[in-house]
Amino acid sequence: MQPIVSVVMATRNRPTLLRRAVASVFAQQTVQPIEVVLVYDGDEHDIAELDELIDLERGPHALRALRNARTPGLAGARNTGILEASAPLIAFCDDDDEWKPSKLAAQLPLFDDPSVVLAATGIEIHSSGGAHARPSPASVVLDDLLRSRITELHPSSFVVRADALRGDLGLVDEHLPASYGEDYDLLLRAAKVGRVVAVPEPHTVIHWDRTSYFSEKWQGIADGLSYLLAKHPEFDRSGVGQARIEGQIAFAHGALGDRRRARSWARRAIGHDARQPRAYLAMIVGMGLVSGQTVVAALNKRGRGM
């Protein structure tokens, strides 16, 4: 029987967290069968982690394991899974996140509208400061996404039409430096080719109570966001949106200790929006008064990101 949804899960060196994520997919209520496509993006021995999943209760669901056959990193791993998936709908779930049992059953009816290309859900962030419910908007358009990344639309909640990913929408951008912002890029592109909608309730659990692969990779963050600004010229029509990203780039350079670039990007951000707080934080971090890691940790504890 063809699966209803293929869940592409890129993974690297996280066997315990991966087990939790896969178990949450297999525990989905009423939606079956589901195909989980694991894509290993690490060392040769990593695929041995599959042994950790053998005894999971699968029911009618299928589990497949592949190696990343494309560009090393998250974008290439996701594309490897997308191209191998067999269902008409493709979902993402990061290997350190999990789904509530109601997630897919609440979300899939949104695809009864043929104009919907991507559907998400609200999220529940688990941080060192506790659990933080973050309901999502029911729908967004391109201008909304230019103005704000809308953190509530998290890739671990995404379900996307497979024919769109292999057609007008396109695959995950493997040219993005460090794959940083690949989810935001996908949202922006999805809003250009169809409707982006969501179930506002938090059906997806996002774990910030662990170390992220991006937590201190400031150069990749700066390069990835600079790439996105150049790739999407529509940002020119949103000064607030430009300033937000420029402020993030300034902050990353400040965390790297590059005061000159931090000041330059901060000035650009303030020129587009004098109230952009990231620009001022960037200069404080750049002067060494506080570390970038300390600022991000404080925000994450409250369920907020930079």
CB atoms within 10 A of CB 75: 26
Same domain, yes or no: 176 and 203? yes
CB atoms within 10 A of CB 111: 18
**How far apart (Å, rounded) are the C-alpha atoms in residues 282 and 266?**
7
Q: What is the CATH number of the domain that holds 63?
A: 3.90.550.10
pLDDT in tens, the chain (306 residues): 789 999 999 998 888 899 999 999 999 998 899 999 999 987 655 665 666 676 677 788 999 999 999 999 999 999 999 999 999 999 999 999 999 999 999 999 999 999 999 999 999 999 878 899 999 999 999 999 999 999 999 999 999 999 999 999 999 999 999 999 999 999 999 999 999 999 999 999 999 876 554 445 889 999 999 999 999 999 999 999 999 999 999 988 888 888 889 889 999 999 999 988 888 777 776 666 556 566 665 555 555 655
Alpha helices (H) in the chain, listed in sequence order: 15-26, 74-84, 103-107, 142-147, 162-165, 182-193, 218-231, 239-255, 259-272, 277-286, 292-301
Q: Which domain holds residue 13?
A: 5-207
In a domain, 87, yes or no: yes
In a domain, 179, yes or no: yes
Model confidence, pTM: 0.90
In a domain, 212, yes or no: no
**How far apart (Å, rounded) are the C-alpha atoms in residues 213 and 12?**
10
In a domain, 213, yes or no: no
Give the tokens for residue 116.
């919907």
Non-local CB neighbours of 44 within 8 Å, separated by 6+ positions: none
Domain count for the chain: 2
Q: Contact 178/73 with Cβ under 8 angstroms?
A: yes
